[in-house]
Structure 1
Amino acid sequence: MSAFTLDELLGLEHAGWTSLCDSTGGTFYGELMTPDALFVLVNGAVMTRDEIAASLDGAPGWESFEITDARLVDAGEDAAALIYRATSSRSDLAEPFTAIMSSVYRRVEGRPRLALYQQTADMSSRST
């Protein structure tokens, strides 16, 4: 049995994207991430929890987002990964941002904590 349910992790991801829409992502992810957690972004940047927390509060917010094709991968007694496609838009971008997201969670002192987040370019969504 997985340490997490699909609905539990989707709820956290929706809350995270909502924080990115209202420009409070630094606070949200600063609290959710483990001290040694990393974000691996689609542009190749690797950022620590402190770097993420410092960079997201006040950043331009997304106007909308959609999460589709979510899958839960059991990773042991206290860990799981959520894989999904996210599409988000903002008026200053010519096209929506679409990527495959992988979020690895660990249960720490009974609480879900984000240990690793990775974005992978979704080439299937690009126009030719």
Structure 2
Amino acid sequence: MDPDELLELEHRGWQALSDGTGAAFYGRLMTDDGVMVLAHGQVLDRQAVIASLDDAPPWRSYEIDEERVIPLGTSAAALVYRAAARRDTGSPVFRAWMSSTYVRRDGEWALASYTQTPIPDRPTPAGIRDAEM
């Protein structure tokens, strides 16, 4: 397994969300039984993801850092990273930890599960690692 391959898929996903092709991209990438758990707690199956992305406003900019790939056997892996994204200049920055679980299907990576955990915009208590970007 090449960790860079999964990170490249994530970047391609963010690019699709930025250029208006997110529905088509995730329609191809997600497993039939795949789910996304969004920052506000909504759980979407593959069809709901595709439908929601048809009308979603594009991201104007994004950053990914602190990437980690966790192998889950020979045909699955989880990619965890921190992201910051903005829809428009002057709009609030969306910050979250992301976790994408991929499985190999017919030699290709497919997205089985994706979860967003928002990073709050508040001071971090002493002794806890700062999550600000």
TM-score after normalising by structure 1: 0.91
Q: Larger Rg: 1 or 2?
A: 2
The Cα of 1:127 is off from its aligned counterpart by 3.9
TM-score after normalising by structure 2: 0.88
Distance 2:91 2:19 in 1: 20
Q: Does 1:43 align with 2:40?
A: yes
Match of 1:55 in 2: 52
Cα RMSD after superposing both structures: 1.4
Match of 1:105 in 2: 102
The Cα of 1:57 is off from its aligned counterpart by 2.5
Q: Does 1:69 align with 2:66?
A: yes
Match of 1:114 in 2: 111
Distance 1:5 1:120 in 2: 25
Q: Does 1:32 align with 2:25?
A: no
Please state whether the residue corresponding to 1:95 is helix, strand or coil. Answer: coil
The Cα of 1:92 is off from its aligned counterpart by 7.2
- 5+ long unaligned stretches in structure 1: none
Distance 2:103 2:24 in 1: 19
Between the two proteins, what is the percent identity of the paired residues? Answer: 47
Please state whether the residue corresponding to 1:29 is helix, strand or coil. Answer: helix
* Range with bigger deviation, 50-59 or 74-83: 50-59
Amino acid at match of 1:119: Q
Distance 1:92 1:38 in 2: 30
Please state whether the residue corresponding to 2:41 is helix, strand or coil. Answer: coil
From 12, 23, 40, the counterpart of 1:15: 12
* Range with bigger deviation, 111-120 or 53-62: 53-62
Amino acid at match of 1:27: A
* Range with bigger deviation, 86-95 or 15-24: 86-95
- 5+ long unaligned stretches in structure 2: 124-133
Q: Which 4+ stretches in 1 moved above 3 angstroms?
A: none
Please tell me whether the aligned partners of residues 40 and 46 of structure 1 are also in contact (alpha carbons under 8 angstroms): yes
How many residues are matched?
123
